[in-house]
Chain A
């Protein structure tokens, strides 16, 4: 408080109280921020420490056996479920985004936007249960890759659509007008001018959707089932293993070996999810400043 030394103004009791209350307020806010961030640091630390100690070559070369073995089947399962879901969701999501951005400034567009938000807000277990009664029971597919991929696709399409729409909106209208002035058709303008111009935004959306599908559990329990074997190439009538299932069930087993597998699976999932999210945010921040 050098200011008080230079000009020795006496503070009234009320003033002193206000300063004290303010300082207490700042300390409380600082503690709140610490309490918010500390669990994240602890989660990353605990998962990394326990997960790394379980890492070995065997983890990536052998499948689970009961509650032991490696994670090959789960890694492969998560990979094919994610790839299949993306294969379904990206064309639909990007197409929907194009419609919302280019032709969606009407009543139909805002209705689709609203329903898309409703779908985003729907708990993932509700989507999983819907797939269970339709695909597993209704179509008789059994726990299968097809049911799992469609469920995850329904989950991520709204994200893809909205992020694609936002990305396309960033492309200046003069670009569109220039294209049309040169006599280009609508598909040419969209695919050759607007989409390339918004490519980084669309890729960002796809990566975030990928991170979501790698980390999901609840909708898969009712659709993918679980299998100790690597995928046999069948889309239906054949359950698939996945990493988040290992985290959920193996941590409840009594032995240390299955706990180690659960943490190793969590570390793999966290690596993918955090790498994508940190990478995307760093790139987006940098382009914003340019």
Chain B
């Protein structure tokens, strides 16, 4: 086998991608090692995140130097993440299914590119601009008309902003596959006397169900990791489980950002290690969700494809 310098150099460049990913995982694991040891399983079941007394002398627990009274539990943030993403999906799915059906079937072909461009553009608006709009428009609206306490920041605001951000993912996926439904299927349904809407809802939608589910899971992966917009409108609730749509929450991702200053103040560096464990948990959750989306999209979980 001859050595081809050109192939070797582009191979080296492409190996940067797995190298970067491995480095991210490796350093997060290494750095959070002591924290994983110190926290144990309490990390994901405990609702109390307490940095401890940063000015008191650190104490040694389980052979690890930590600020006295420190306790790291992220159960509240896991619940905040799951709740906001779940509500966002509940809002986004009907909206994006309706929008995609309307775009695919009801809009004249000449206008369709313009409207679908608008839907795609929602996906490129930076997260922080969604947050800005949330603070300027959405939060005052919720505070004025919906929230019993008059405070608009909280679970509902975070969920609505997340829903807006993931709608284009689901809508574009669904639109693409609706446009690919064979003509014959539509025409057969029409020939059976179905109304146009029945053709869409009873003949076309069942054909694109798998793609729709794949798109929804992909959107879920995006919602779980979304940081800035959620941080800006969620109210930043810590150490208390949400009790209503208007409770302040934090998600795992937004919590990591909000803790920058306090982490730097910790002389034992333990909170930085615990935050590294938080980031690792977030990585694993999104990895699992995105892998599920890939499996669904590739048809591996579609039973009907196997026969």
Contacts and interface: CB of A to CB of B under 8 A. Distances in A.
A117 interface: yes
Contacts of A40: 118, 121-122, 125
Given A95-B14, A96-B16, A161-B14, A126 B24 contact: yes
A92 B133 contact: no
Interface in A13-28: 18-19, 21-23, 25-26, 28
B13 A29 contact: no
Contact of B113 (A247, A248, A285): A285
A203 interface: no
Interface of B: 4, 6-7, 9-18, 20-21, 23-24, 27-28, 31, 94-99, 101-103, 106, 113, 115, 117-122, 124-133, 135-137, 164, 167-168, 171, 195-198, 201, 221, 224-228, 231-232, 253, 256-257, 260, 269, 272, 275-276, 279, 282-283, 286-287, 290-291, 294
B53 to A, nearest CB: 22
B161 to A, nearest CB: 9
What DSSP secondary structure best describes chain B's contact surface? helix
A46 B137 contact: yes
A269 B126 contact: yes
Contacts of B291: 118
A217 B228 contact: yes
B132 A251 contact: yes
Contacts, number: 252
Contact of B197 (A22, A98, A104, A157): A22
Contacts of A123: 224-227, 253, 282-283, 286
Contact of B11 (A43, A99, A252, A274): A99
Contacts of B95: 32, 35-36
Interface residues of A, number: 85
A80 interface: no
Interface string A42-82: 11001100100000000000000000000000000000000
Contact of B13 (A35, A95, A102): A95
B128 A157 contact: no
* Smallest CB-CB A-B distances: 5 pairs: A32-B98, A123-B225, A95-B13, A215-B126, A22-B197
B287 A118 contact: yes
What DSSP secondary structure best describes chain A's contact surface? helix
Contacts of B27: 130, 133-134, 138
A269 B129 contact: yes
B284 to A, nearest CB: 10
Given A30-B106, A123-B226, A262-B132, 12 more contacts: A22-B197, A33-B102, A40-B121, A118-B290, A119-B17, A126-B283, A134-B23, A158-B17, A186-B7, A215-B126, A217-B228, A222-B257
B131 A248 contact: yes
